[in-house]
A and B are shown apart, each in its own frame.
Chain A
Amino acid sequence: MTMHPEDLDQLAQARREEEAQYRHRICVCMAAGCLSSGADKVKAALEAGVKERSLEKDVLVKGVGCMGPCAAGPLVAVDIDGVIYHDVTPDDVPAILDSLEGKPVKRLEMPKDSPLFQRQVRIVLENSGKIDPESLEDYVAANGYAALFKVVTEMSPGEVIEEVTKSGLRGRGGAGYPTGLKWSTVAKARGPRKFVICNADEGDPGAFMDRSVLESDPHRVLEGMAIAAYAVGADMGYLYVRAEYPLAVKRLKQAIKQAERQGFLGNNICGSTFSFHVDIRLGAGAFVCGEETALIASIEGNRGQPRPRPPYPAEVGLWGCPTLINNVETFANIAPIIRNGGEWFASIGTEKSKGTKVFALAGRVVNTGLIEVPMGITLREIIFGIGGGIPDGKRFKAVQTGGPSGGCIPEQFLDMPVDYESLASVGSIMGSGGMIVMDETSCMVDVAKFFMEFCMTESCGKCVPCRVGTVHMYNLLDRMTKGLARMEDLDLLEELCDMVRHTSLCGLGQTAPNPVISTLRYFRDEYEAHIKDKICPAGVCQMATAEVYA
């Protein structure tokens, strides 16, 4: 079917009017976090309660995407005063329904003025927790697909790229490559066909930003991909999602079908000559497939292992054709940039890092969950403001960003702005958005060992430094945490870090030593305590007692 501008408006208007008929709307978070703590039962109980009280015409119960404070789920948002209830059970339903015409249920209420909500700026997550992720009409009613419409009917591919370049958006997968530059490279590359790939192989331990976006607002990612395809001249796109995200996959499949039916995907999009099809490919759980050349190999049906770059996928990618690969969050930023203009986006953030960043805040912090903050916010504001500080009166020790490729940042840098350059300058990286807070009960040697074990088991085994070097580094760290290491081992560890970092084939190996390098830089005394005094200062590591011949 062909969409015209008035059809889009009509669709949006119809949905808005439909919703306006209700006096109250109760939104239940149906993202994976809340689902796992029983949100589906809460929703069913709410629906049953509404029916029982014959309020079907007045009260709308709907499932929405992620609201953020995942640890406090199931979460329920009620329109009166925009209150959010936490840890809701089916037993709370009568109280919630009783309160609709009066005051909110105090005991379930999350404080609205808390910095958790106040300090956030939502672009990527603007619809998360508000719209029904399974409804295209809901997305359209929230200005969805307006950007795609504008692009294909009013803008040239060059203009689209210019707008993205103007926005200053940088890749949200971790490395921060300028998105506009990448798009223009693919647009200029020559090939029989071009492809757009969305990298949704989110694999960092503790990171769930992409999953949440896909579960909460799948159409936003599809719209971003379609705009990108228009800009670079691609007619086919692949969403590479890890199979461990069944809910995201289900909603994406549904969203693709809906978008095709309404003519937002498929042939002659919005009545134009532009055609773009999207297909899903499931990753089988290998972390390395998040590396772009390995991901491409995996889509092609080959063993998922990286190849040397250059040539970059922009030139030689999927099936040898020029290919644009961006991360979920990058694509999720595109529609608002087109809708509001690149300058608007560039006004948020710092000089070199524009816009916002979604972080999965985890570890020893009061408020864990998903947050979106403007670039340039300080780590202190995130951890002690939004995160609510360290629980149980413990002391902050370090924050780990960038997952297994990142580093641990100690207290003296807490007032540093969060942007690509600043994080790199202290030996970490922005990464895809994992942020793990550690307090005095964390042993930094143990943390380094944890990440090294991850890299060791996730190494594809193709190049020698990563395949063997990660094992040696892990073994040395393991000896240290058991009190079996000698001081020479520390020198050897540093030598191995240097070698693996500079000689590995892909990003996995090149960054695998980062957690070790950064903890050695800031917490060397802890390493020395393990080696010289056979003591774990944080009390985490169990020292070996048996006789050892070393």
Chain B
Amino acid sequence: MSSNKVKVATVWLDGCSGCHMSFLDMDERLVELADKIELVYSPLVDMKEFPEMVDVTLVEGAVASVEDLHKIRKIREHTKILVSLGDCAVTSNVPSMRNPFKLEDVLSRAYLENADLNQQIPQEVIPKLLPHARPVHELVKVDVFIPGCPPSADTIYFAISELLEGRIPELSDKTRFGA
């Protein structure tokens, strides 16, 4: 592995993976980026453990479960610049639609009332949900915010390019909540 490339990770918490799709939508620009960055950890690459230190981590999704919480804390510790990518990470967006309701009610609606077969609330394997799905920056420090549902490939490309130039991207004319 070459060490002079910028180490980039992407993480998928409670989100729909749309932001990752948008990331892939950069198409041929990905090839160009590949010269400058190394994707060290991502749902798109096969890497089980988060590396010791990453330059930039893009986080998709809200923090909704105990697992998400452990992950994001660990990632924060091992990341220089943490980026909230997309509305779920920035505002908790669609995952937050359960927040006005009690957790028991949400689980019961999903696993008991609306289940045709095998009505039971899972106790194992599936991580325990937090009382609320929350934006990433409420739990760890976030350095860059990229709103959008999802942010467009152009926006993501611009943000990454700016970061590669050592600048914090100014995105308010490029994207917005729900964009």
Contact = CB atoms under 8 A, between A and B. Distances in A.
Interface of A: 549-550
A550 B130 CA distance: 10
Interface in B52-72: 66, 69
Contacts of B69: 549
Nearest to A548: B131
Contacts of B130: 549
B139 interface: yes
Nearest to B138: A550
A550 B138 CA distance: 8
A377 B139 CA distance: 51
6 contacts: A549-B66, A549-B69, A549-B130, A549-B131, A549-B139, A550-B139
Nearest to A550: B139
Nearest to A547: B66
Nearest to B130: A549
A120 to B, nearest CB: 54
B67 to A, nearest CB: 12
A449 to B, nearest CB: 21
Contacts of B66: 549
Nearest to B134: A549
A550 B140 CA distance: 9
Nearest to A549: B130
Contacts of A549: 66, 69, 130-131, 139
Interface string B66-80: 100100000000000
B2 to A, nearest CB: 38
A549 B66 CA distance: 9
Per DSSP, chain A at the interface is loop
Q: Which 4 A-B pairs have the closest CB atoms?
A: A549-B130, A549-B69, A549-B131, A550-B139
Interface in B129-169: 130-131, 139
Nearest to A488: B141
Interface string B4-41: 00000000000000000000000000000000000000
A403 B66 CA distance: 43
B129 to A, nearest CB: 11
A549 B64 CA distance: 11
Contacts of B139: 549-550
A549 B73 CA distance: 12
Nearest to B66: A549
A549 B128 CA distance: 12
A219 to B, nearest CB: 55
B121 to A, nearest CB: 19
A124 B130 CA distance: 59
Contacts of A550: 139
A515 to B, nearest CB: 27
A516 to B, nearest CB: 22
A204 B69 CA distance: 44
A549 B103 CA distance: 14
A549 B63 CA distance: 11
A478 to B, nearest CB: 16
A333 B131 CA distance: 58
B133 to A, nearest CB: 11
A549 B127 CA distance: 14
A357 B18 CA distance: 67
A32 B69 CA distance: 57
A549 B139 CA distance: 8
A475 to B, nearest CB: 13
A118 to B, nearest CB: 58
A173 to B, nearest CB: 40
A548 to B, nearest CB: 10
A549 B130 CA distance: 8
A549 B131 CA distance: 9
B139 to A, nearest CB: 7
Contacts of B131: 549
Nearest to B141: A488
A406 B131 CA distance: 37
A550 B66 CA distance: 11
B48 to A, nearest CB: 25
A522 B60 CA distance: 43
A33 to B, nearest CB: 45
A549 B133 CA distance: 11
A549 B70 CA distance: 10
A221 to B, nearest CB: 49
A485 to B, nearest CB: 13
Interface in B94-110: none
B179 to A, nearest CB: 24
A549 B69 CA distance: 8
A210 B108 CA distance: 55
Nearest to B69: A549
A186 to B, nearest CB: 49
A294 B141 CA distance: 43
A385 B139 CA distance: 52
A550 B139 CA distance: 6
A36 B66 CA distance: 55
A550 B131 CA distance: 11
B123 to A, nearest CB: 17
A125 B130 CA distance: 60
A171 B87 CA distance: 52
A225 B15 CA distance: 66
B13 to A, nearest CB: 14
A550 B69 CA distance: 9
A185 B131 CA distance: 58
B64 to A, nearest CB: 11
B69 to A, nearest CB: 6
B66 to A, nearest CB: 8
B103 to A, nearest CB: 12
A488 B66 CA distance: 23
A384 B131 CA distance: 50
A550 B72 CA distance: 12
A98 B76 CA distance: 84
A305 to B, nearest CB: 27
B96 to A, nearest CB: 15
A549 B67 CA distance: 12
A550 B132 CA distance: 11
A549 B132 CA distance: 10
